[in-house]
Amino acid sequence: MLPAAFTTPASLATVLPSSLAAVQGQGNALGLRPLQHAVVVVVDGLGAAALRAREGHARTLASRLGKATTIDAGFPTTTAAALATLTTGTTPGEHGLVGYRVRDDAGRLSNQLNGWDEKMDPATWQRSRTVFERASAAGVAAYAVGVPAYADSGFTHAILRGAEFIAGRTMADRFDAVREILRTPGPGLTYLYVAELDQAAHARGWESPRWTAELETLDGLVAQLATSLGPGHGVLVTADHGIVDIPESGHVLYDTAPELLEGVDEVAGEPRLLHLYVRPGASAEEVAARWNAVEGGRSWVATRDEAVAAGWFGPIVAPEVAPRIGDVLIAARKRIAYYDSRDPQRTGRSMVGQHGSLTAEETRVPLLRFGAAV
């Protein structure tokens, strides 16, 4: 049995559309009352399970965490796909960002965070209208507060189009920018991106002192922002995915089992979610069967058709998007990550915290309310 990707009534896809609807005085999926300005803080890598485990270090955030304030991020639990889901209100089968590294229309394996060029145009590869474009068209000021290095990236142009980008080097700088934005009169929608926890998790793991320190900083900044809100200001804090710490003993070198590469043309995705593209004339079903025989005890194995039928990429997968998805998907369900030992760069082998798959640690994220959003 394949797990479902969207199991909660609210998901990451409902957060920004509901926030905009509240600013417009309309009903919405989150039941938000009318707001003058909605702020959505998205914390890269803050899973609900990790927050619960470190609740003593994040009293402001953890005090709001419960079953009713935990939602599904969706699938795949990778930043490119999840942030596109958040900022468009559509799922990967519609917006088109279906993984970390996937096959593009030119037949290349392209990184969805930094592989943008004229053959993978952000204006068309990301197929959905953003919530910021909708806000601007409705006369609602839209802002995206993020890291300076991302201000003009292809990924930013893909998922944040329609928003005025405001850069802040540190986490505190970005929260200061939000407070300044909230002094602006008129209806507004602001997206605030926090990168630091995900960076710490990849380098040291979410169980590390460094990650905990970043969580403490975040918690203090959220508390300060919450006390400064005006009567029509609402803040939602959520995340794009959670994190699983993978020890080196959990590295699975798939090339050491030659049968796993039989019929496989290219391997993409990321260590906890492989996209396998089969060779012309090869059978996806046979490739999946071989992987299931070897890896089925610790990973979910699905052909593209099975994954689409299970709703992994949302209720709709556009014909233009389907070929981007691997012919076979390998989604880790144990504390493992897949690597190719033939890679001389040992790409990604130093990462501790990882994500991409369908476990609860990766898919369940907080949705915490402050100010007029409560």
Per-residue model confidence as pLDDT tens digits over 251-270 = 999 999 999 999 999 999 99
Average pLDDT value for the chain: 97
pLDDT for residue 6 is more than 90? no
Three-state DSSP state, 12:
helix
Q: What are 327-337's pLDDT values in tens digits?
A: 999 999 999 99
130 residue type, one letter: T
CATH of the domain at 182: 3.40.720.10
pLDDT for residue 33 is more than 90? yes
In a domain, 64, yes or no: yes
Burial 143-170 (b: 16+ CB within 10 A, else e): bbbbbeebeebbbbebbbbbbebbebee
pLDDT for residue 191 is more than 90? yes
Q: How far apart are CA 25 and CA 34, in angstroms?
A: 5
In a domain, 96, yes or no: yes
What pLDDT sits at residue 30? 97
Three-state DSSP state, 274:
strand
From the CA atom positions of the chain, what is the Rg in Å?
A: 20
Bridging pattern class, strands 101-103 and 299-303: unpaired
What pLDDT sits at residue 190? 98
Q: What are 104-149's pLDDT values in tens digits?
A: 999 999 999 999 998 899 999 999 999 999 999 999 999 999 999 9
Name the DSSP class of 185.
-
pLDDT for residue 80 is more than 90? yes
Number of domains in the chain: 2
What pLDDT sits at residue 141? 98
pLDDT for residue 9 is more than 90? no
Q: What are 285-314's pLDDT values in tens digits?
A: 999 999 999 999 999 999 999 999 999 999
pLDDT for residue 150 is more than 90? yes
- Average pLDDT, stretch 210-238? 98
Q: Is the dihedral of CA 7, 12, 13, 19 positive or negative?
A: positive
Q: How far apart are CA 42 and CA 159, in angstroms?
A: 14
| 110 and 176 fall within a common domain | yes
What pLDDT sits at residue 1? 85
| 156 and 271 fall within a common domain | no
What pLDDT sits at residue 359? 98
Q: How far apart are CA 251 and CA 153, in angstroms?
A: 32
- Average pLDDT, stretch 161-174? 98
What pLDDT sits at residue 258? 94
Bridge partners (DSSP) of residue 331 are 273, 300
What pLDDT sits at residue 7? 87
| 174 and 254 fall within a common domain | no
Tokens of residue 117, six digits: 């060029």
Q: How far apart are CA 291 and CA 245, in angstroms?
A: 23
Tokens of residue 35, six digits: 């707001």
| 307 and 188 fall within a common domain | no
Taking the mean position of all CA atoms in its chain, how far away is CA 35?
Answer: 26
In a domain, 236, yes or no: yes
CATH of the domain at 286: 3.30.1360.180
Torsion of CA 181, 185, 187, 189, to 10 degrees: 0
Q: Which of 296, 318, 297, 320 is nearest to 308 (CA)?
A: 318
| 363 and 346 fall within a common domain | no
In a domain, 3, yes or no: no
pLDDT for residue 77 is more than 90? yes
Q: Which of 81, 187, 189, 114 is nearest to 144 (CA)?
A: 189
Q: How far apart are CA 112 and CA 16, in angstroms?
A: 21
Whole-angstrom CA distances from 75 to 168, 310, 318 are 29, 11, 16
Tokens of residue 157, six digits: 């142009």
| 85 and 156 fall within a common domain | yes
Query: Taking every pair of C-alpha atoms in the chain, what is the biggest distance, in angstroms?
Result: 63
- Average pLDDT, stretch 44-67? 97
Could you tell me the residue range of the domain that residue 140 belongs to?
12-244+358-371
